[in-house]
Structure 1
Amino acid sequence: MTPQAFIAKWRDNPLTERAGAQAHFEDLCALLEVEPPRIEGEYQYERGLIKKSSASQGWADVWKRGCFAWEYKAPDKDLGAALKQLMVYALALDNPPLLLVSDRKRIEIHTHFTGTPSEVHSILLEDIGQPENLQKLHWLFNAPERFKPRTTTYAVTEEAARKMGKLAERLNARNHAPLETAHFLIQCVFCMFAEDARLLPEKLFETVLNKSNPDGAKAQSRLTELFTAMRKGGDFALETIPYFNGGLFELIEVPPLTTEDVVQLLDAARMGWGEIEPAILGTLFERGLNPDMRSQLGAHYTDPATILKLICPVIEQPLIGEWNDTRAKLARLAPQFGYEKGRKKGEFRPNEARTEGQSLFNAFLERLKRFRVLDPACGSGNFLYLALKTLKDIEHRANLEAEALGLQRELTIETSPANVLGIELNPYAAELARVTVWIGEIQWMLTHGYALRRNPILQPLDHIENRDAVLQIPPSPPLTKGGMDNVAQETSPFEKGGLRGISEPEWPDADAIVGNPPFLGGSKKRGELGSEYFNALNRVYKDRVPGGADLVTYWFEKARAQVEAGKAQRVGLVATQAIRAGSNRKVLERIVATAPIFEAWSDEPWINNGAAVRVSLVCFGDGKESSLDGKPVSTIHADLTAGGGLDLTQAKPLAENSSVAFKGAEKNGAFDVPGETARQWLKLPNPNGHANAKVVKPWKNGQDIAGRPSDTWVIDFGVSTTENEASLFETPFAHALVYVKPERAKNNDANRKKNWWRFGRNGADMRSGISGLSRYIVTPRVAKYRYFVWCDATVSPDSRLYVIASDSNIAFGILSSRIHEVWSLAQASMHGDGNEGGRPTYNAKSCFETFPFPTGLTPALSRVEGPRVTASPSPQPSPLKGEGAQSIATTAAQLNALRETWLNPPEWVDWVRTKEEEQAGFPLRPVAKPGHEAELKKRTLTNLYNARPAWLDNAHRELDAAVAAAYGWTGYTPEMPNEEILKRLLALNLERSAKKS
């Protein structure tokens, strides 16, 4: 058929809608020379045949899997109604990428690709022969992906957030209160979305700005009038405005606007706001509107697919399981569905089977309507939106599948913003969470062809609360003449030595709890939160959450308590990987005992405050089957490992290992100085007659061990030096006065403010442990490989190092062996960023104190065996007792000597120190010989273990064999599975801990 013949036949064709649909499509196939629909389930007419009144019709008049769904209307009929029908049934049609509607005079192609804005391509009958239109029609059948928009909804949302962020910056620069600015711009965001979603008259918001330009005062006045009309509904500029409110327009304070403000708002209003992505909307807009987060605006955000790893097992899977049970019952009843005559003439009523089926279906819908999801750290609402979307998707699916079985489909969707509850401390985020949920709800309803709720359009969301989720702090009284500072001092709920009215807050009952609680390490809580808040947490959660646990664990404990009390069924929360180890694991152990972990992802990429990190995702509660990292398992332990007999969480700290391993000191300030500067300071006199070498020392952190030495030194005033005593070291003190004190003045920790010249955590226990030693053992807390090295006793170790207080080659050898490595890796938490997987984090409590050393060879015992060895680039073994112990010492010393020679070849390195360094007893420093600087930079432990040359592997194997022999493992070989090593060590740990108890 030629285009001319096609146009002539269908220009004024009298066939009805039903009669003309298939005839028109058959002719179109002839025109395009493609096969017509003839394959049931793949390419057919009347896809999904169901009964509607007395007529039969499909969900779509024509359907081709993976390509399109097509609905016809009679000429000049409403194509919008046809499109709405396709949108309602898109799920049942396997979500085709293209939705087509036609009245035979016009063909409209609506793109329906996930994650992209919808675009419309229209082809008029008279233009069907144009080459570009024929090409588009061919693509429908063989290349639907050619219609996929290049812009994504994520890109649209990022651009919108960027523009609103710039405007927020402008307004705040004129001393507008940031919260008031944010509230106004959030109102604008919703208006721009509402006009594109046709909730406001078309382009109304844009017109208000355009007509006001360049007069900012007019824009301010007119926007105030518009917002006022939206509060309760009413007239504005000859237009009838629906009743929106829901709380968003309760407070109206449009700030004074300049011409530039109006121009920027107008530029933003011209974007496609109907296509923004709710899953990331709140996150990006919080960054743009909150001055404290603006630097993160261009940073990454968490992929919604990762969030769904919690949403699916906690919300979707159990509800789908319930629906599948209900659907199975309906399927058994469906053949008997029918109607019977009533008593009145012409009356027909459902028979018993249909009545029972409808009752079962309605009960499931009521279950969904009552289902509640709580996010107790909801941020700007991405979890809440995805939870609500999941509930609505389930309800929609149930509707379609019930209709396919012959029941009456509900024309409304009952799940709504009332289903999601939130708690959020940050007021910016709390308001954005509400808007995210509102926009997500409206967008979902329109996309799926359902009518919106009215009067008001926005349901009140007071159940997304702006408050603290883990401490209930009484509100401060009104300000008095004394001002804010006096009120804080006189009426603070944090009383000295006690708490005034502070308690554990209640969480609302919910079927499911999900969320991403704040990440803050246990060692940083006091400094970041302040001593008063830190002490309050410890008091309120005494005996439930260890004081040294990360902040995130309080949310885990409260959620556990909700499950135990029957106030929640399932929980899915995000945590740092440290949740699996140390004091954090105590919280997971309580969970395993009362609300078992049924699904977990031990190592996942995540975005926290714009930074790429690695996390663990943990689901617990009444799950029926267990899954770890996507694989079915029988049990999940508190360390997020699986298995039947091997549960390393049973391992107990051993008394003989206590007070041996310590974390290095934590500076909490700019105490570090370059080596050249420090060496100049060593020459300077002081009024107290003491050398600066008493307080200026070589310093090492994890990077100095894993990489090349940085020659960084540190000002270390020790544990108890007073400010007056410190000031007598004139130059180092003056440096600290300038570079440390101003920053310490901002610290929330009162002790760190007061003792600003000393380290924030001075490591008194560690200093005591290594006193009297000429050297000690260190390992980086976070490292790709677990290796141990010697450190001179005069060197100050950073908090990124763990210090083992022993100068014995026995201890060094056992720790450097595969036996300890396997144990420490199994007991470690993981730390990392990006998408590269985490790096093991060594921890004294879980990795060292639980490790059962060979009998009689713990570091505390081996430390006193024989004379101590003076530190040198290649320490020699001490004379030690016992053939097995001597073998470990010898092979350990050999490993260390080989490594040191590789790291610092004599041909490339000179060992140097100044006269002052020598007098102070500071160690020699390796310095590259001329011409070898570039080569030496590559000589690092990380690079060495990346390559793992044969000599290194052989040295480790010899050491491993010596250590295994000390355990009495006569059958040890390098091929022994890690699982067997762990099994033996765990048995030894349990045996020793049982004897002690």
Structure 2
Amino acid sequence: MSTSFSVDAFVRKWRAVELKERSAAQEHFLDLCRALGEPTPAEADPAGTFYCFERGATKTSGGEGWADVWKRGCFGWEYKGKRKNLEAAFGQLQQYALALENPPLLIVCDLDRFVVRTNWTNTVSEKHEFSLDDLREPRNLQVLKWAMSDPERLRPGKTRDDLTEDAAAEFATLAQTLRSRGHPAAQVAHFINRLVFCMFAEDAELLPNKMFVRMLEAAKSDPGQFQTLASTLFAAMRSGGLVGFERIDWFNGGLFDDDEAFALDPDDIALCLRAAKLDWSEIDPSIFGTLFVRGLDPDKRSETGSEYTDRDKIMMIIEPVLTRPLLREWAAVRENINALIEPVRKAAEEAIAGASNFPELAEEVRAVESRLASKPQLELFQDLIKAKRVRAVDSVRSTLRAADRAYQEAREQARAMFAAFLARLRAVRVLDPACGSGNFLYLALVELKNVERRVSIEGELLGFPPEFPAIGPDALRGIEINPYAAELARVSVWIGEIQWMRRSGFNIGRQPILKPLDTIECRNAIINEDGTAAAWPAADVIVGNPPYLGAKLLKRRLGVQMTEAIRALYQGRLPGFTDLVCYWFENAREMIEAGTVKRVGLVATNSIRKNTNLPVLKRITGATRIFEAWSEEQWTVDGAAVDVSLICFGDAGTEPARLDGEIVGSINPDLTTGIDLTSARPLPQNRNGAFLGIQKSGPFDVPGEVARAWMREPTNPNGRGNAAVLKPYWNGDDLTGRPRDVWLIDLPIGLSKAEASLYASPFRHIATTPDDDGKTIEQLRAELGERAGPRWWEPHWPRPEMRSRIEELSRYIVTAETAQHRVFAWLSYPVLPDKNLIVIPRDDDLMLGLLQSRFHAAWALRKGSDLEDRPRYTHTTTFATFPFPPGMTPDVSVEQARAEPAAGAIEAAAVQLNAAREAWLYPSDLIIEEAEIVEGFPVRRLPKDDAARRQLVRRTMTALYNERPAWLIELHLALDAAVAAAYGWAEDIDDEEALRALLDLNKARVG
């Protein structure tokens, strides 16, 4: 530990010192360490690996380092002489913060004044400033002590996210107020964006002397003047000019294209003043845009399902698609430069060593040394010098000059390689074809600028002169259909560019301050107004978060005409029934295949990897490769969980594939690795073996008490009672939970409207019951067009083929389309299945046993999709592709299948399993049976009393499989062993091996 040195002694000593920076800086810092009782750099880190003076490169310009003092994870510290410009010192630290590993504190000092600024990512920067004499105040001394040993104590409490939400909330309120006064939404958006940028410009010191706040203060006392004052300011910002006697820079960029302003009342002005008190220079453009556009346009893009993507998720796309490939390319270039320069550098240094003993060559030696940018360690070459003493001066001179020429030639080649890489880097273009309010574009710009800065800094290490940042918003391309979001995307990018330049210690260009951003276009990214395909601008990289609208909602949200036009454009490439996001993936794939785009990173709901969405990922893996993916990421937006997949594809060089953060051999189209079950194809033996239940798409279901009341009514004018058109109706919840006692209005298919109306009460219910938007089914069907069915009194998909099959059977098998556990059970007609049930029209226990085995469950889990945390059974990809055991395929008659040796054991195990589950769900001592009021319907199984009801409510199929009691496990083990025997497998075969065998069997049957 350093020798003790009191604070008073430190203040007295350094108050009197007038030494220049270079002479005093290190002694000043050592004295400060002693005064604070902190170890000096040499005491704490003799090797100088994490705490040292002069951290950085010896630069060709003659400077000695990037920071006068540096301590990893604590600070970068720059000194200046007394009364010198500390802002210039701070700017230097900012420029080299990246090279200093982004320390959390940036400290500047002129021996008499200390300025400590916080530099944590995603926090609002704080500034602590005090003088030498102020060190006698304990709180100032504490700041320096924390800076040296416990910087976390200085971390600001408010994050940039907090600040951004506060700022967005204020202006969302103002936007809604202006719209409620009848102002057009687009004009309100333009005006609010101007106010937002003015507040940012003021805090970023682009507007002089707090001009915007002063304008608001003036309007506060006379609100009627606001419109005139704001118009005057906007007019000056349009092309540069005077406001009073103060000069305003040229801003424009399209944001200040005219001087139009709205009148504000006192409450509006008070709101603006509250907002102006925030530090707008610190807002986070990566979330500000989305938060703000929600308030500006409450519908935002919810009509197409778009959602806010947080910074971390965006970087999980941008890093593998943009940042890492550029840094890999730079690393290769840097290695080539070093390989080119180092041998000739070493030869030149050896030549210098050989010439150093000849005074007549001193001038030439100095010239070569200056070009090498560092003096050689001559003591390393003493033996060489002695050996060459006897050589003639001309020979040594010749060697020296040859080495110098070789070095200069290598330097020129290296400089050309460096310049060529910088040119390529600066030519990179990033496209977000669904850019929203600019989240991805802003962070992509920041990453490009960070890479450029890193390359420049490492170029200095190689001896090249510093480079001024040249990458700017012109590197970005965007398409956005929402005009509010499109303009805000431009504002977010402008703000982000200015923030980066200021934080990195660079001045911004001012002719104009806002460069036009016409490359962010406001239009449809998929289809033009004339029905042709929308073209995307050329780019190297595509990133973004396209809208998530599901296929079944397209017509309702986009309209029938638009939906059918889009589907027609992609006919033959994508299924007609595919989610909206898939069209963005297909366009990006097409550009990769055409060679106009290198890499793509897009966000989608995790349903993209299954069912009718899967073909787009199959096309992608057929044309290129998925090199990084996160199959299922969750985060919360507006209180709701959103499940997404993050998918990066294209040319990633030799980088290994990564799935969910782990290196894998390859990534399958369904975002799995290893066995590629997406290659399994539908089997002819399974055709028409499973069906969806009835899709109502209207108010066709009623509670049991309503159905029974209707059945008690007198016969209708057609002479028939309502029981003829009512059936018990089950969905997935009835299977996985307790039966809900819901009935379906089951009018015979093909009745005319007049005939249907004769069933008076049921028909009236269908015709008059509104949906959540207050519309009747007739109105909704009319909006959705003819394909939705003009016969609105019939279910949208009545499934006549499925129905004809189950009516012939004593019972039929069902499984919930979406459920936590894959369970198959029995239903019997006249109970009808909803679309949330998958129907297998078989009444034999053999088929139930095969379906309930763990092998089919494993296949279903991989081949199906999921909804949040619940797997979804999709019969078109799961049942249709599943290879049943030989001799037991769905096309084989039950009698033939039962003749197989393993069939008896499977049936017996299935019977036992089903009986045990039913006994647990409906214990005889808790249940009474009650006949329906009309014959022909199943008896009702009801709790015998309230105590039984309380027990039964906890007895559900889901609860049973969550608990998995020993008896259930044993019954399943017996069933699985019997099914394994039917395949000829060992009963303890693991799931992965079984899946591989099943896939081989599928391929063999297809072939």
Q: What TM-score do the two structures reach when normalised by structure 1?
A: 0.89
Alignment of 1:170-181 (within 5 A): 170-181=177-188
Alignment of 1:15-164 (within 5 A): 15-38=19-42, 39=45, 40-53=48-61, 55-164=62-171
Instruction: Report the counterpart of residue 577 of structure 1 in structure 2.
Output: 606
Instruction: Report the counterpart of residue 453 of structure 1 in structure 2.
Output: 509
Query: Are 1:403 and 2:403 counterparts?
Result: no
Contact map agreement 1:44 1:64 (CA 8 A) in 2: yes
Q: Which amino acid aligns with 2:871?
A: P
For the structure 1 residues 184 and 766, does the alpha-carbon distance in structure 2 shift closer, same or farther, using more than 3 Å as the test? farther
Residue range with higher mean Cα deviation, 125-134 or 734-743: 734-743
Q: Which amino acid aligns with 1:640?
A: L
Q: C-alpha displacement at 1:776, in angstroms?
A: 2.3
Give the distance between the partners of 2:231 and 2:217, measured in 1 at CA.
Answer: 16
| Gaps in structure 1 of 5+ consecutive residues | 475-501, 833-837, 867-878
Contact map agreement 2:526 2:534 (CA 8 A) in 1: yes
Alignment of 1:490-889 (within 5 A): 502-606=531-635, 611-623=640-652, 624=654, 625-643=656-674, 646-685=675-714, 686-717=716-747, 719-740=749-770, 742-744=775-777, 745=779, 748-751=783-786, 752=788, 754-832=790-868, 838-859=869-890, 861-862=892-893, 884-889=902-907
For the structure 1 residues 265 and 517, does the alpha-carbon distance in structure 2 shift closer, same or farther, using more than 3 Å as the test? same
| Gaps in structure 2 of 5+ consecutive residues | 350-362, 372-404
Query: Are 1:991 and 2:1004 counterparts?
Result: yes
Kindly provide the CA deviation profile for residues 575-607 of structure 1, in whole angstroms up to 9, marking residues without a partner as x: 222222223222222211211222222222256
Contact map agreement 1:910 1:929 (CA 8 A) in 2: no
Query: Are 1:232 and 2:289 counterparts?
Result: no
Give the distance between the partners of 1:195 and 1:667, measured in 2 at CA.
Answer: 58
SS in structure 1 of the partner of residue 877 of structure 2: helix
SS in structure 2 of the partner of residue 80 of structure 1: helix
Instruction: Report the counterpart of residue 480 of structure 1 in structure 2.
Output: none
Give the distance between the partners of 2:576 and 2:638, measured in 1 at CA.
Answer: 24
For the structure 1 residues 856 and 690, does the alpha-carbon distance in structure 2 shift closer, same or farther, using more than 3 Å as the test? farther
For the structure 1 residues 978 and 191, does the alpha-carbon distance in structure 2 shift closer, same or farther, using more than 3 Å as the test? same
Kindly provide the CA deviation profile for residues 281-316 of structure 1, in whole angstroms up to 9, marking residues without a partner as x: 1211121111214999xx994332222222122111
Contact map agreement 1:663 1:800 (CA 8 A) in 2: yes
Instruction: Report the counterpart of residue 361 of structure 1 in structure 2.
Output: 418
Query: Are 1:981 and 2:985 counterparts?
Result: no
Q: Which amino acid aligns with 2:661?
A: G
Q: C-alpha displacement at 1:768, in angstroms?
A: 4.2
Alignment of 1:234-273 (within 5 A): 234-250=241-257, 252-273=259-280
Q: Which amino acid aligns with 1:51?
A: K
Kindly provide the CA deviation profile for residues 422-449 of structure 1, in whole angstroms up to 9, marking residues without a partner as x: 1112222212221221111111111111
Instruction: Report the counterpart of residue 375 of structure 2 in structure 1.
Output: none
Contact map agreement 1:578 1:830 (CA 8 A) in 2: yes
For the structure 1 residues 228 and 72, does the alpha-carbon distance in structure 2 shift closer, same or farther, using more than 3 Å as the test? same
Give the distance between the partners of 2:300 and 2:540, measured in 1 at CA.
Answer: 32
For the structure 1 residues 438 and 691, does the alpha-carbon distance in structure 2 shift closer, same or farther, using more than 3 Å as the test? farther
Give the distance between the partners of 1:755 and 1:203, measured in 2 at CA.
Answer: 66
Give the distance between the partners of 1:812 and 1:755, measured in 2 at CA.
Answer: 37
Alignment of 1:266-415 (within 5 A): 266-293=273-300, 301-335=308-342, 351-410=408-467, 412-415=468-471
Kindly provide the CA deviation profile for residues 492-549 of structure 1, in whole angstroms up to 9, marking residues without a partner as x: xxxxxxxxxx211211121111112211223333333332222212221111111122
Contact map agreement 1:301 1:610 (CA 8 A) in 2: no
Give the distance between the partners of 1:928 and 1:674, measured in 2 at CA.
Answer: 21
Q: C-alpha displacement at 1:753, in angstroms?
A: 7.9
For the structure 1 residues 295 and 661, does the alpha-carbon distance in structure 2 shift closer, same or farther, using more than 3 Å as the test? closer
For the structure 1 residues 524 and 804, does the alpha-carbon distance in structure 2 shift closer, same or farther, using more than 3 Å as the test? farther
Residue range with higher mean Cα deviation, 132-141 or 719-728: 719-728
SS in structure 2 of the partner of residue 640 of structure 1: coil
Contact map agreement 2:708 2:933 (CA 8 A) in 1: no
Q: C-alpha displacement at 1:135, in angstroms?
A: 1.8
Give the distance between the partners of 2:668 and 2:537, measured in 1 at CA.
Answer: 28
Contact map agreement 2:813 2:842 (CA 8 A) in 1: yes
Contact map agreement 1:315 1:512 (CA 8 A) in 2: yes
Q: What TM-score do the two structures reach when normalised by structure 2?
A: 0.88
Q: C-alpha displacement at 1:268, in angstroms?
A: 1.4
Give the distance between the partners of 2:770 and 2:803, measured in 1 at CA.
Answer: 22
Q: C-alpha displacement at 1:769, in angstroms?
A: 4.2
Give the distance between the partners of 2:258 and 2:733, measured in 1 at CA.
Answer: 53
Query: Are 1:972 and 2:972 counterparts?
Result: no
Give the distance between the partners of 2:776 and 2:22, measured in 1 at CA.
Answer: 78
For the structure 1 residues 256 and 735, does the alpha-carbon distance in structure 2 shift closer, same or farther, using more than 3 Å as the test? farther
Contact map agreement 1:215 1:258 (CA 8 A) in 2: no
Contact map agreement 1:424 1:465 (CA 8 A) in 2: yes
For the structure 1 residues 199 and 370, does the alpha-carbon distance in structure 2 shift closer, same or farther, using more than 3 Å as the test? same
Q: Which amino acid aligns with 1:943?
A: A
Contact map agreement 1:300 1:610 (CA 8 A) in 2: no
Q: C-alpha displacement at 1:728, in angstroms?
A: 2.2
Q: C-alpha displacement at 1:792, in angstroms?
A: 3.0
Q: C-alpha displacement at 1:737, in angstroms?
A: 2.9
Give the distance between the partners of 2:930 and 2:585, measured in 1 at CA.
Answer: 53
For the structure 1 residues 682 and 168, does the alpha-carbon distance in structure 2 shift closer, same or farther, using more than 3 Å as the test? farther
Contact map agreement 2:856 2:882 (CA 8 A) in 1: yes
Q: Which amino acid aligns with 2:324?
A: Q
Give the distance between the partners of 1:772 and 1:176, measured in 2 at CA.
Answer: 64
User: Aligned Cα RMSD in Å?
Assistant: 2.6
SS in structure 1 of the partner of residue 647 of structure 2: strand
Kindly provide the CA deviation profile for residues 584-633 of structure 1, in whole angstroms up to 9, marking residues without a partner as x: 22222221121122222222225678742222222221223322222222
Q: C-alpha displacement at 1:939, in angstroms?
A: 1.0
For the structure 1 residues 518 and 932, does the alpha-carbon distance in structure 2 shift closer, same or farther, using more than 3 Å as the test? same
Contact map agreement 1:740 1:756 (CA 8 A) in 2: no
Q: C-alpha displacement at 1:557, in angstroms?
A: 1.2
Give the distance between the partners of 1:606 and 1:755, measured in 2 at CA.
Answer: 42
SS in structure 1 of the partner of residue 702 of structure 2: strand
Give the distance between the partners of 2:755 and 2:576, measured in 1 at CA.
Answer: 33
Instruction: Report the counterpart of residue 946 of structure 1 in structure 2.
Output: 962
For the structure 1 residues 560 and 765, does the alpha-carbon distance in structure 2 shift closer, same or farther, using more than 3 Å as the test? farther
Give the distance between the partners of 2:633 and 2:446, measured in 1 at CA.
Answer: 23
Residue range with higher mean Cα deviation, 597-606 or 119-128: 597-606
Instruction: Report the counterpart of residue 492 of structure 1 in structure 2.
Output: none
Q: Which amino acid aligns with 1:631?
A: E
Find the partner of 1:444 among 493, 500, 510: 500
SS in structure 2 of the partner of residue 777 of structure 1: strand
SS in structure 1 of the partner of residue 986 of structure 2: coil
Give the distance between the partners of 2:505 and 2:929, measured in 1 at CA.
Answer: 77
For the structure 1 residues 211 and 930, does the alpha-carbon distance in structure 2 shift closer, same or farther, using more than 3 Å as the test? same
Instruction: Report the counterpart of residue 486 of structure 1 in structure 2.
Output: none
Instruction: Report the counterpart of residue 518 of structure 2 in structure 1.
Output: 462
Aligned residues: 934
Q: Which amino acid aligns with 1:566?
A: G
Q: C-alpha displacement at 1:329, in angstroms?
A: 2.1
For the structure 1 residues 737 and 252, does the alpha-carbon distance in structure 2 shift closer, same or farther, using more than 3 Å as the test? farther
Larger Rg: 2
For the structure 1 residues 218 and 687, does the alpha-carbon distance in structure 2 shift closer, same or farther, using more than 3 Å as the test? farther
Q: Which amino acid aligns with 1:888?
A: I
Q: Which amino acid aligns with 2:160?
A: T
State percent identity of aligned pairs: 47
Give the distance between the partners of 1:430 and 1:743, measured in 2 at CA.
Answer: 36
